[in-house]
Structure 1
Amino acid sequence: MKYFTIQELCASDTARKKGIDNTAPGDVKVRLSTLVEKVLDPLRERYGKPIRVNSGYRCPILNKAVGGKPTSQHLRGEAADITGGTVEENRKLLALLSDMEFDQLIDESNLTWIHVSYRAGNNRRQFLKL
């Protein structure tokens, strides 16, 4: 893990404000490490600039508090919502990600941020726009 940390992927303003313990259990830490190793660090290398993680792991209480789906990959440590800071930069990130291995890429709110997920074994390479 060169550019990202487990702590960064578990950080949440909502969790802090609501007093929610969003500490990742061991199996989730393993999946977060895989997400970083397979997607986030290689993306950062290609992009050449910092990437901000808006949301990574979410415990069930936090996921409910932010309106996440009960099947969200954030619950398993397989997803991160990321941004380069602007729609233009997010467009660049999306283009770089499209050539990489991923499970889902979701253009959220006209590239306000990008949801990217990775799961070991069987990635669907789905692209969605919400």
Structure 2
Amino acid sequence: MKYFTIAELCKSDTADQLGIDNRCKKEHVANMTALVDNVLDPLREAYGKPIRVNSGFRCPVLNKAVKGSATSDHMTGRAADITGGSPAENKKLFCLIQELGLPFDQLIDEKHFSWVHVSYRQSGNRREVKAL
């Protein structure tokens, strides 16, 4: 973990505003570390500029509050919503993940590159690419 921290992946303005305890457990830390080591850090290295995590780990209460999927990888620490600061930069991140051949389970263009969702599993990655 070179460019990202567990605290950054657990930080949530929504949780803070709603008074939701979004602390993660040990198994979530292992999943977040794998996501950072295998996808986010290599992406940041290749991108050459900071990448912000909009949403990383979400406890079930927070996931429900943001209307996340009932099976969201965010709840296990396996997913992050990231941004380079603009739709154009987010599209670059989306393409770079694929060009670099980084391992991922899902790579999603969210709302015309408002942000990019990327998830990683330590085994069984589907390499599913889609737009929502």
Instruction: Give TM-score scaled by structure 2 length.
Output: 0.97
Unaligned 5+ segments in structure 2 are: none
Q: For 1:112 and 1:18, locate their aligned partners in 2 and report how far apart those are by CA, in whole Å.
A: 23
Q: For 2:88 and 2:14, locate their aligned partners in 1 and report how far apart those are by CA, in whole Å.
A: 27
> Number of aligned pairs?
130
- Report whether the alignment pairs 1:37 with 2:48: no
The offset of 1:66, in angstroms, is 0.5
Which residue type is aligned with residue 20 of structure 1? I
Identity %: 60
How does 1:1-130 map onto structure 2 within 5 Å?
1-98=1-98, 99-130=101-132
The offset of 1:100, in angstroms, is 1.3
Give SS of 1:42's match.
helix
Unaligned 5+ segments in structure 1 are: none
> Where has structure 1 moved over 2 Å in runs of 4 or more?
none
RMSD: 0.6
Instruction: Give TM-score scaled by structure 1 length.
Output: 0.98
Q: For 1:79 and 1:111, locate their aligned partners in 2 and report how far apart those are by CA, in whole Å.
A: 16
